[in-house]
Each structure stands twice: as structure tokens, then as C-alpha cells.
């Protein structure tokens, strides 16, 4: 692992798109940890959780809901439509990026200011440069955690 784990955290505003006529504002915390260098996290207030949600991509912990996905997906999705499975990102006209989160209980569509997402991504690159994610990885420890 990297010598001293670094955490990058940024709180930003997003819009939860409910319909073409209705959206709700919410605060989202973006988090990156150098000891988990391939992933980024989006944390949402618990009141936005769907009751009964049981998807392995969503880690429920009071008082927040956490979605974890690849940092590279965030990087790609700022410029071109990206994603497979539960998380999709796509830039829109103007200065926004849409993030679509899918679970068996439904789909959530969120709109972010692209500059805010890009600022977070660049902050994560200061912690662990792009392409260097595996340079400090302790493979024995990672394998032990995976098999535990």
C-alpha cells in the first residue's frame, strides 16, 4: 500500500431527476482513498435510499448510502458516455454530467456540475497519479482480504 493512506473528500450539489418537470437538490459526498486506488465513492443522504434495496453495489450504512465504482469510469464519463452494469455516466450539452445508478429496485438519475466532478478527479490524481494505482499495492495483503 502507499506509505500514508490519503483520503480526498469533496461535498458537492447534485440534482436528482425525478421527471422532465421535477428534480430535487441534494448534497453528495465524493470520496477517494489511496488505499483503494481504483475506486471512487459517492455518498448520499440515507433519506434518498429505496426501501428494501439489496444490491451489492450499494453499501448501506447510517446515515449515508455509498455507491462504489471505478475511478476510470468517472474519468471517461466526463468526456464520453461510459459505463456498463449499475453505473453509467454521460456528459450533457453545457457544463453538466449525468450519473445513472441502477439497482433491482429502480434507477436514479443525477445531474452534476462537470467542473465539480473534474475538480474531485484531479484531486484524486494528486493522491495517486493516473496509471500509478497498482504501484504501491501490497498484493499479498490484497489477496488475503479478497479470500477472507
**Cα–Cα distance measured from residue 70 to residue 6, given in angstroms and rounded to the nearest whole number:** 17
pLDDT given for residue 53 in this prediction: 41
pLDDT given for residue 144 in this prediction: 76
pLDDT given for residue 100 in this prediction: 97
pLDDT given for residue 145 in this prediction: 66
pLDDT given for residue 5 in this prediction: 84
Q: Are 97 and 111 in contact (CB under 8 A)?
A: yes
User: What does the DSSP 8-state code read for residue 47?
Assistant: G
Q: What is the pLDDT along the chain (148 residues), one digit of tens a residue?
A: 446 788 999 999 999 999 889 999 999 999 999 988 999 999 998 776 655 443 444 444 457 889 999 999 999 999 999 999 999 999 998 899 999 999 988 899 999 999 999 999 999 999 888 877 777 666 676 677 668 7
pLDDT given for residue 136 in this prediction: 66
pLDDT given for residue 21 in this prediction: 92
**Cα–Cα distance measured from residue 21 to residue 37, given in angstroms and rounded to the nearest whole number:** 38
Q: Is 140 helix (H, G, I), strand (E, B) or coil?
A: helix
pLDDT given for residue 105 in this prediction: 84
Q: Are 70 and 52 in contact (CB under 8 A)?
A: no
Amino acid at each position: 500500500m502507499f506509505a500514508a493512506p490519503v483520503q480526498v473528500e469533496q461535498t458537492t450539489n447534485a440534482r436528482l431527476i425525478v421527471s422532465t418537470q421535477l428534480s430535487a437538490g441534494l448534497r453528495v459526498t465524493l470520496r477517494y482513498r489511496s488505499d483503494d486506488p481504483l475506486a471512487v465513492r459517492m455518498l448520499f443522504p440515507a433519506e434518498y435510499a429505496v426501501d428494501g434495496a439489496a444490491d451489492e453495489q450499494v453499501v448501506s450504512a447510517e446515515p449515508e448510502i455509498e455507491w462504489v465504482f471505478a475511478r476510470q469510469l468517472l474519468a471517461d464519463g466526463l468526456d464520453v458516455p461510459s459505463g456498463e452494469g449499475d453505473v453509467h455516466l454521460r456528459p450533457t450539452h453545457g457544463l453538466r454530467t449525468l450519473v445513472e445508478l441502477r439497482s433491482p429496485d429502480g434507477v436514479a438519475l443525477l445531474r452534476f456540475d462537470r467542473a465539480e466532478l473534474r475538480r474531485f478527479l484531479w484531486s484524486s490524481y494528486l493522491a495517486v497519479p493516473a496509471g500509478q494505482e497498482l504501484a504501491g499495492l501490497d498484493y499479498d495483503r490484497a489477496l488475503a482480504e479478497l479470500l477472507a
